[in-house]
Chains A and B, each alone.
Chain A
């Protein structure tokens, strides 16, 4: 809880905070003077036979209300100025955290969407609620105490102890409440996770007639979430009881003590004034503190905790280093990798040297480890044993940005995103000019596609592209990359053979090292060397590459 409170406090930037404190003073004015004004109006005015004096006192309350309204408006506006940047900072953290977890393979990030929508919203609302409640409570409590003291110190002695007791009780229940909220948030996340994975496969489930299976997979998390939500009602009940002590007991105490107080010389006006302070000042303040801290505060701590757990602070932007680099020799030694502690190694004790400028095809039946090898050669997976070096430097010791300058990988699942065609194509070389892009589009044979999408400024909508079209865009993108080592991991599998030939020919002419994870024989025939994996080991053979020519 400390971490969340610290994080919350760090969002209170001094300037808006000072403005908030300043605007709180006029906002609290009506509540602070209300009892005092009523006491004077009654004692010196209405009961003293001078009604106009009483009216004048009460009119002063109206003036205070006008000043208070200005304070209120400014307080909300200032709260927005604290909350919106806080939300932005958290959104940034969630997005970079989940992206980073996804690329390092620690998490597929399906819960990230829930973090970014519902939970971030909860944090935003509750942060604002908390600020408003705590600030309002503090200001009013101070104002009312001053008012009571100036009215009659004896009254303060009657009112304040039960009020403080209610406050203490409330503080004592916060622990239970936090635990229940935490459970509810956890249930929320699991629900979003499960629904996401089921709905992503809606077409598949429908084709299998397995809609019922999809529903039953989500039923458990939906039920758990409802249960967690219901158990929160108990927390709300506890809070109501705390309000009875802190809000109603002072009132009863004043009334019970009234005969005794009047014996001590207190007037009808002072008693009504004191009661007005309880009803008009303390009760609303306590109420908004309890609902603010009790609901907003707990939701804030728990939800923020989940978000902080699931994300990391954003990294500083990487240094732009787009300068072309010389191709390096890649070398694997004793390379071993298995997906899990119980799995058989997918790659075992592999030695392989890929000199700069080589054209290597990796062949073998699917599932045999070709993609894994590609990931290892690209430094995306950490070997269980052995090393991969580029120019003598171990890959795992190179920062990702450095690695990216040396090699480009295009996986089978081509990644395109909503944006312009140009954004998608110049992804790896933002400086690429239209001429270079056009040449790359031509070389890969994506001219017709780009034209259909409306040229470089056209919009890409990933869900409307076929897998083959996505691959074409990804290939152009890789072709434009300044990195000299290029790894095509079945990157052409959705293209027809001629288009594949065209693309591979383009990459062969591009220069640098080309590593092709092959799924068709054609790719192996065009390579200078072929590494065949057969599940027992790897066989490397050199060959005269088949004549590469672009298709007619």
Chain B
């Protein structure tokens, strides 16, 4: 049945980089500690120089601390790259797997262009969740460490610093939520523009003939001003954040400097220590770095959400049953299917004896394609059950189901590196291509079956025949959803001949608009507005004018 997926939580995304997080954390902490020790050592060097003492010792120590912090930085860089690159790849793999598992039902939820954006940008953002979280956690270390060092130098410094820090915290609280909202709105509009471009690219022949590239350009870009509005919003957020940082950061530093100056004038601190206190104050209120950290966190959160939406969408799940022996007896028991609460099929009961040829006819919108998708289990019924040789389809194992059932749509999308690969790996590619009358034109291609698919422009009829060849292997049930509509009559006749010839070892379900095809079926299922109007041979129905009307 439909398996609603568990969403992807921020914690799940973090866990994807689990192995690297300790190293990132360690490097980040060590680097911060070296950074905290450095000002004191520099202070020592300054004071020694001012006092006319040798500076060699503190100088060597300072160089050592700088080296440690550089090494830590390098380690963090490499670990972060390894972590996010690996996690991005795995998240992308999972996302593609999920999108493919959602399968036929997918197109009604996500446009392809939008999904591609989620795979390429969303996954990369989500993968940075772990490092971003570590960054956010360790970002506090310099602040807290600096506070400790300031208190160690003189308590008045710590007091001045804390007053500044309270201001910084206030700024950060205000910032994250607004950034997330602005980025999410921006990304939504961007996705819409990309989806429009995707759509326009499918109509390239119409656009070419009409010379309407310019109109299409305007249509696709129509939301650009809206995007610009959301973009301006993100700049506004950044501008106020930046201004607050520019104000708050020095406020803390100057406060600490004044406290340190007073301490110098009373002899509690040396000039070198005054410089050190300025450095601690800056490190503590390093709000510039912190805003970056929180922006990364916000971006990761937005990415996780976009991935989660796909992960939550229901996907087809398979059982582990095998089919008992049979010839493809197809049964619908009280099957209904809805979309957005609109009924597509209602209370359909039907039994197709194994090995027969059955046609499905009905006017546009009668539910023929939905019935075909249910029979081929590209979707599950909302109520009722579909059975093949007595076994509910959803109980069948993946391989058992797909070896038994084939589906050829009116507009097949061919996937594979080569034409041969697009036909698939069940049985002999060439044999099935011949049966679907595709062998002749494929053989004319530059490298025959090995011709790269992307170098093979095909007419609708050619694509349909490759799509047919792809499904031909079906052992128990072959579903053709208007899959010969783009073939000329002579070719179609040849294909139907091949389809109906031979031993009746499998059931063939043909959705068709053509009376000639319906006439060759053993039985016709006549659908009308989502319900079965009649099940009978074509010649018995033909006298009914309503039936003839179903063909147009």
Contacts and interface: CB of A to CB of B under 8 A. Distances in A.
A77 B239 contact: yes
B99 A199 contact: yes
Given A80-B231, A340-B455, A365-B488, A255 B275 contact: no
**B74, B210, B247 pick with most chain A CB within 10 angstroms:** B210
A537 interface: no
A226 B245 contact: no
Nearest to A497: B552
Given A99-B200, A233-B77, A494-B485, A84 B84 contact: no
Interface in B68-120: 70, 73-74, 77-78, 80-82, 84-86, 88-89, 92-93, 96-97, 99-104, 106-108, 111-113, 115-117, 119-120
Interface string A49-68: 11100110011011011101
A268 B271 contact: yes
B120 A114 contact: yes
Interface in B179-208: 190-191, 193-208
Interface string A161-201: 00000000000000000000000000010011001111111
Contacts of B487: 366, 519
13 contacts: A46-B261, A73-B240, A87-B231, A88-B228, A92-B217, A103-B207, A108-B204, A109-B201, A198-B100, A202-B103, A203-B103, A240-B74, A256-B59
Interface string A114-130: 10111001001000000
Interface in A364-411: 364-367, 370-371, 375, 378, 380, 399-401, 403-404, 407-411
Contacts of B203: 413, 415-417
Contacts of A188: 120
A244 B72 CA distance: 13
Contacts of A59: 254, 258
A46 B445 contact: no
A467 B411 contact: yes
Contacts of B333: none
Interface residues of A, number: 182
A352 interface: no
A58 B551 contact: no
B4 interface: no
B96 A199 contact: yes
A192 to B, nearest CB: 5
A61 B253 CA distance: 10
Contacts of A84: 228, 231-232, 235
A206 B99 CA distance: 10
Contacts of A68: 246-247, 250
A516 to B, nearest CB: 13
B384 interface: no
A380 B364 contact: no
B117 A498 contact: no
A495 interface: yes
B537 interface: no
A317 B238 contact: no
A366 B459 contact: yes
A279 B66 contact: no
Contacts of A493: 460, 485-486
A255 B486 contact: no
A5 interface: no
B264 interface: yes
Contacts of A206: 100-101, 103-104, 316, 378
A222 B242 contact: no
Interface stretch (B349-357, B396-404, B496-504, B526-534): B396-404
A265 interface: no
B450 to A, nearest CB: 12
B552 A498 contact: yes
A551 B552 contact: yes
B199 A462 contact: yes
A196 B124 CA distance: 17
Given A65-B247, A207-B376, A367 B441 contact: yes
Contacts of B135: none
Nearest to A371: B459
Interface stretch (B22-30, B144-152, B321-329, B463-471): B463-471
Contact of A409 (B63, B85, B115, B205): B205
Contacts of B100: 198-199, 202, 205-206, 211, 214-215
A444 to B, nearest CB: 13
| 7 closest A-B pairs by CB | A209-B402, A415-B203, A496-B552, A366-B461, A80-B235, A206-B103, A498-B552
Contact of B398 (A209, A214, A520): A209
A138 interface: no
A121 B121 contact: yes
**A244, A259, A364, A407 pick with most chain B CB within 10 angstroms:** A259
Given A223-B89, A251-B42, A271-B49, A209 B209 contact: no
B410 interface: yes
B201 A343 contact: no
Given A54-B261, A463-B108, A233 B78 contact: yes
Given A38-B278, A204-B412, A209 B489 contact: no
A353 interface: no
Contact of A280 (B212, B238, B282): B282
A430 to B, nearest CB: 8
B441 A276 contact: no
Contact of B202 (A74, A85, A415): A415
B407 interface: yes
A380 B421 CA distance: 30
Nearest to A247: B66
Contacts of B398: 209
B142 interface: no
A521 interface: yes
Nearest to B125: A118
Interface in B368-392: 369, 376, 378
